[in-house]
Amino acid sequence: MTRPIPLAIVDLGYGNIGSIRIAFERLGAMPRLTADPNEIAAADRVVLPGVGAAGFAMTRIAEHGLGDVLRALTRPLLGICLGMQILFERSEEEDTECLGLFEGVVRRLEPGPDRPVPHMGWSRLAVADPACGLADGDYVYFAHSYACDDGPASLARADYGRPIPALVGKDNMIGAQFHPERSGDAGARFLQAFLAS
């Protein structure tokens, strides 16, 4: 019988999740990188980072047998960037079926005048629910070409030609389109709130 790990970071291979691990370590948490379904199912908290494109991530989730484990979690789950997008029903990126935990589709951002794609940089948030550790007017760092549908689950939004859900929440789940691990003090406040949830 192994003791449940306090914080599991889902490691889908291609270990480009160093910055997330380090951000949690800075806050005193001891994250464990794992793709083991049993460890993830038993963890106190789970972080789902993004790796590659939606299709690649969903393939890896299927290969590791993690789809049902993630859907069945009752403890806090945080999806970051692509890890948030794959919590939705579908993504236009390679027309990928996703986990279906949030209603809505992930659509490509359309470039426009003074609005390059990817949406890359620090955007100002309109925060609907301050319980997330973020405040109205906080700047957080985004780097994405696809965005989720805005809807009742949105807890915070950024404006990028259309309202971009920056934070979505439902039951035990929260998704961040921005990168809290790279969002300075505001990001640290958000991760701290997740650790305390």
The number of residues that bind another protein (CB under 8 A) is 43
> Could you give phi then psi for residue 42, rounded to 5 degrees?
-95, -5
DSSP state of 109: P
Sign (positive/negative) of CA torsion 26, 11, 53, 94?
A: negative
Residue 19 or residue 38: which is nearer to another protein going by CB?
19
CA angle at residue 169 from 43 to 149, to 5 degrees?
125
Which one of 74, 95, 114, 196 is in contact with another protein (CB under 8 A)?
114
CB of 12 or CB of 41, closer to another protein: 12
98 is catalytic: no
When asked if residue 50 is in the footprint of another protein (CB under 8 A), the reply is yes
23 binds another protein (CB under 8 A): yes
Distance CA 137, CA 134 (A): 9
Alpha-carbon span 104 to 148, nearest angstrom? 7
Least distance from another protein to the Cβ atom of residue 123, Å:
4
Per CB under 8 A, the segment of 71-79, 96-104, 111-119, 167-175 that binds another protein is 111-119
Catalytic sites, residue numbers: 81, 179, 181
